[in-house]
């Protein structure tokens, strides 16, 4: 793109503003940072002030496309259009314009890929979404030669359909002529952050910037964790031509300026994958601090500082963030596929409740789980098991069990899965020299007090909810605002964080251990269910 040389290294001090000629006589007294949160089910724009409070926001849902079992797609054009609309919507609601916005930060659903034409900006296929399992055959083939951990040394990840790189290869293999066109430089590929930045900074018409940040790149299976560059070896093995890939940047720097549109001239200055953004928004900036987000699935990240900690317990090693030229900060991550979505399943597929929050009342209609355990291995188990062959099961049923027990088992499954991940994290963290003494939480499910108390009981550590609940968008705003000097240092991020509520373990430890033993048995019963001759 044009002007790239000037922009490299633009960090903290270089505040790019519209040229003075275009400014009206009075500059606005208050300015803000705008974050785009491009999630799995919706796209939001949130405008934050310096204290981290939300000033205005807008949100649009997008279509979930399920072409066949196990496949999940989004329409990239719909996502880009929603992005433009929510930017306009949030500015309108706040009665603000581009002069009020110092920088734009982006946070996104991770591991979802788009392949598009450089000249026109037309995607050559729908986005292949993170939950999509169509790359299973490729993954099996790669694992046949060296096992699931074959690339773990380099990229920190086990082979799984979850990650982005093989999805790019799948699109190139299945769209006619795509590999030839990629070789000629006609195609670009990347995760959703890249798709949005390229479009925001000019797209096909104005030579948009093709970039990604280290956190998104660390979920592709194509990046070397140490060099923070695409690995030739991995790109070759996974068959992703390097010509289509974006330039890997830090999470906090000026990547480019918005061209035509309501925010023309505003710097795009921060990118973080959604879970890393929540970690930043929770101010988990010191090694040894961790957060757990309870949404569709659960994602726990532990900041391990500038050290790369290889998990011996089924966790992923990933980038936490990198601020400009500073040393990169790494994290251990435990991803759980099904938590909040199990509540949705109970609502939509069983009709036991009409809305997600009702699960709490139903669960509180009984005193305990009545011996019932629900392992929601709907599409296998992620961390710390990584077992694609598992399927969901409800265990311990007796004639006594009723829907209250089932509701309780549903909530408890989130807490037990989280305990499995936390145990793995404690084991890895101890080698790295620390133990977690509390867990910061966020996401839709943390409104559920019954679950949060049970979570503290099961973990045996305090569970803490922050005052500012919008941690994901806030994290993206922070990295963008830090890049342009809106916030002068990460100390302000830490100062903005404050506690809303804390749950302390209360249940008898022996009871907890008995339940965890039953949970482990329940998990073991779900393994080895899917036979190889079945899709």
- Contact (Cβ atoms closer than 8 angstroms) between residue 411 and residue 450: yes
The answer to whether 395 contacts ligand ADP (rule: CB under 6 A) is no
**Span of 55-63, 152-160, 247-255, 335-343 interacting with ligand ADP by CB under 6 A:** 335-343
The answer to whether 246 contacts ligand ADP (rule: CB under 6 A) is no
> Nearest-CA neighbor of 325 among 243, 421, 228?
228
> Nearest-CA neighbor of 186 among 109, 286, 116?
116
Number of residues located near ligand ADP, criterion CB under 6 A: 18
β partners of residue 374: 394
CA 451 to chain centre: 22
Strands, E, within 455-508: which ranges? 462-466, 499-503
**Span of 20-28, 38-46, 224-232, 456-464 interacting with ligand ADP by CB under 6 A:** 38-46
CB of 254 to ligand ADP, least distance (A): 28
Q: Write out the binding residues for ligand ADP, residues 39-58 only, by CB under 6 A.
A: 39-41
CB of 498 to ligand ADP, least distance (A): 20
Residue with tokens 């930043």: 280
CA distances from 11 to 88, 104, 252, 376, 493 (A): 27, 14, 7, 44, 17
CB of 163 to ligand ADP, least distance (A): 18
- Contact (Cβ atoms closer than 8 angstroms) between residue 116 and residue 26: no
Q: Write out the binding residues for ligand ADP, residues 445-464 only, by CB under 6 A.
A: 445, 447-448
CB of 445 to ligand ADP, least distance (A): 4
Q: Write out the binding residues for ligand ADP, residues 288-317 only, by CB under 6 A.
A: 295-296
R_g (Cα) of the chain, nearest Å: 23
Q: Write out the binding residues for ligand ADP, residues 408-447 only, by CB under 6 A.
A: 443-445, 447
Could you write out the DSSP letters of every residue in 357-377?
THHHHHHTTSSS-TT-EEE--
Non-local CB neighbours of 199 within 8 Å, separated by 6+ positions? 80, 83, 121, 208
- Contact (Cβ atoms closer than 8 angstroms) between residue 420 and residue 381: no
What mask of x and - would describe binding to ligand ADP in positions 351 to 390, judged by CB under 6 A?
-----xx-xx------------------------------
The answer to whether 224 contacts ligand ADP (rule: CB under 6 A) is no
The answer to whether 273 contacts ligand ADP (rule: CB under 6 A) is no
> Nearest-CA neighbor of 252 among 30, 498, 13, 2?
13
Find the residue with minimal CB distance to ligand ADP. 444
CB of 355 to ligand ADP, least distance (A): 8
Q: Which is nearer to ligand ADP, 106 or 178 (CB)?
A: 106
Q: Which is nearer to ligand ADP, 373 or 487 (CB)?
A: 373
Give the footprint of ligand ADP on this chain (CB under 6 A).
Answer: 39-41, 295-296, 340-341, 343-344, 356-357, 359-360, 443-445, 447-448
């Amino acid at each position: 793109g044009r002007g790239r040389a000037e922009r490299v290294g633009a960090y903290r001090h270089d505040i790019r503003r519209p040229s003075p000629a275009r400014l009206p006589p009075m500059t606005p007294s208050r300015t803000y940072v705008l974050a785009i949160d491009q999630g799995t089910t919706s796209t939001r724009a949130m405008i934050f002030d310096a204290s981290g409070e939300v000033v205005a926001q807008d949100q649009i849902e997008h279509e979930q496309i399920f072409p066949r079992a196990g496949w999940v797609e989004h329409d990239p054009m719909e996502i880009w259009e929603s992005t433009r609309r929510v930017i306009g919507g949030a500015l309108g609601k706040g009665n603000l314009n581009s002069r009020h916005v110092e920088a734009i930060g982006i946070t996104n659903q991770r591991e979802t890929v788009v392949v598009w034409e450089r000249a026109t900006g037309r995607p050559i296929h729908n986005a292949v979404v993170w939950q999509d399992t169509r790359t299973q055959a490729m993954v099996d083939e790669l694992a046949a030669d060296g096992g699931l951990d074959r690339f773990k040394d380099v990229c920190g990840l086990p082979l799984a359909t979850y990650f982005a790189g093989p999805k790019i290869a799948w699109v190139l293999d299945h769209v006619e002529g795509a590999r030839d066109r990629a070789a000629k430089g006609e195609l670009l590929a990347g995760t959703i952050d890249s798709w949005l930045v390229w479009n925001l900074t000019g797209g096909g018409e104005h030579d948009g910037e093709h970039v990604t940040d280290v956190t998104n790149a660390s979920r592709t299976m194509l990046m070397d964790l140490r060099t923070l560059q695409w690995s030739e070896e991995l790109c070759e093995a996974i068959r992703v031509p390097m010509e289509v890939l974006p330039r890997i940047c830090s999470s906090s720097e000026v990547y480019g300026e918005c061209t035509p549109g309501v925010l023309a001239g505003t710097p795009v200055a921060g990118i973080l994958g959604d879970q890393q953004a929540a970690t930043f928004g929770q101010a988990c900036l010191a090694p040894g601090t961790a957060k757990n987000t309870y949404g569709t699935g659960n994602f726990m990240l532990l900041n391990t500082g500038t050290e790369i900690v290889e998990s011996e317990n089924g966790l992923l090693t990933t980038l936490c963030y990198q601020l400009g030229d500073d040393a990169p900060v790494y994290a251990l991550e435990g991803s759980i596929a099904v938590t909040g979505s199990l509540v949705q399943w109970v609502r939509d597929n069983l009709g036991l409740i009409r809305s997600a929050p009702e699960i709490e009342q139903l669960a509180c209609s009984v005193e305990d789980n009545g011996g019932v355990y629900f392992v929601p291995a709907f599409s296998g188990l992620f961390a710390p098991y990584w077992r694609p062959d598992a399927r969901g099961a409800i265990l311990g049923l007796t004639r006594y069990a009723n829907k209250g027990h089932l509701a309780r088992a549903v909530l408890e499954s989130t807490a037990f899965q989280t305990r499995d991940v936390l145990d793995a994290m404690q084991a890895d963290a101890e080698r790295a020299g620390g133990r977690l003494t509390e867990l910061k939480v966020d996401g839709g499910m943390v409104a559920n007090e019954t679950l949060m108390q049970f979570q503290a009981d099961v973990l045996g550590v305090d569970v803490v909810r922050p005052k500012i609940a919008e941690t994901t968008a806030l994290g993206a705003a922070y990295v963008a605002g830090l890049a342009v000097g809106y916030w002068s240092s990460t100390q302000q991020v830490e100062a903005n964080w404050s506690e809303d509520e804390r749950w302390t373990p209360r249940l008898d430890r022996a009871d907890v251990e008995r339940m965890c033993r039953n949970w482990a048995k329940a998990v073991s019963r779900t393994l080895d269910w899917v036979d190889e001759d079945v899709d």
